[in-house]
Amino acid sequence: EMSEMSERSKQNVAHGLAWSYYIGYLKIVLPRVKKSMEEFSRANPNVLTCRETWKLHILVPLSCDVYDDLEKADSNIQYLTDLTETTLTRAGTKKRVYKHSLYAIRDEDNKLWHCAVEYATPLQSLYAMSQDECAAFSREDRLEQAKLFYRTLEEILKGSKECAGTYRLIVYEESGDAETHFLSRDILWHLRQQRHEEYTVYEGNQPHNLSTTLSSAELNLQISESDLPQPLRSDCL
């Protein structure tokens, strides 16, 4: 009965996941990111040299394939250290810890670029639902929901004054060729673009040597002719 009610009211898991991610996590941690970056930069002045990249870089793979260890996803991504922890009492948990990891990204010239990066963790739920028969959630549903999750999260964050200038969403579709360093090249493209935005090295078009990647403007995120959320069951018309 609950499932039928959800379908009739067109409730959608992607909307709920995006809002939960924002309210329960991003709205808490993002306003503190720049302060953590600044503290780290004072102690390590030669690492975070570009202030435009003092953001949390959030990976949004549309496949929902999330690695727990980024170093296993791409050997050009190496863990460096953790930024300053934020400790809060939340929902009955005393001294709940929130922290972000800083990574070194190696480019094609062996130069290291540094940034805080992590996956959008709700994508793990979408992936798990597509593996669970009880969820009646097909791979096509998962892709559609991942796109809607990204679009919803982007709209939420754009309207958030507290989070302005503190994040970078990196949405991408994984290459069918299973490129070894696809992820690091994608992150590097965004880091270079942010450096370009800060220093205005180039005018007009983006430099030709940047890695081709999917941006929100290039990615077709049209879910259906209607903007209404879609039912979760794969056998619906």
| Residues 56-85 as b or e (16 or more Cβ within 10 Å = b) | bbbbbbbebebeeebeebbebbeebeebee
The 10s digit of each residue's pLDDT in 7-39 is 443 357 889 999 999 999 999 999 999 999 999
Q: Which two tokens stand for residue 96?
A: 């709940």
How far apart, in whole angstroms, are the C-alpha atoms of residue 106 and residue 111?
6
Residue type, 184: S
Answering whether pTM is above 0.85, one says no
Residue 1: the pLDDT is 53
Residue 16 near residue 148 (C-beta atoms within 8 A): no
Residue 95 near residue 89 (C-beta atoms within 8 A): yes
Residue 87: the pLDDT is 86
How far apart, in whole angstroms, are the C-alpha atoms of residue 79 and residue 149?
27
Please, which residues bridge with residue 62 across strands? none
The 10s digit of each residue's pLDDT in 165-203 is 999 999 998 766 667 889 999 999 999 999 887 665 444
Q: Is 223 helix (H, G, I), strand (E, B) or coil?
A: coil
Q: Which two tokens stand for residue 12?
A: 């959608």
Report helix angle 13-21 to 139-158, nearest 10.
40
**Measured distance between the N- and C-terminal CA atoms of the chain, rounded to whole angstroms:** 19
Of the given ranges (84-93, 138-147, 158-167, 225-234), which has the lowest mean pLDDT? 225-234
Residue 104: the pLDDT is 96
DSSP secondary structure letter of residue 92: T
Residue 40 pLDDT greater than 80, yes or no: yes
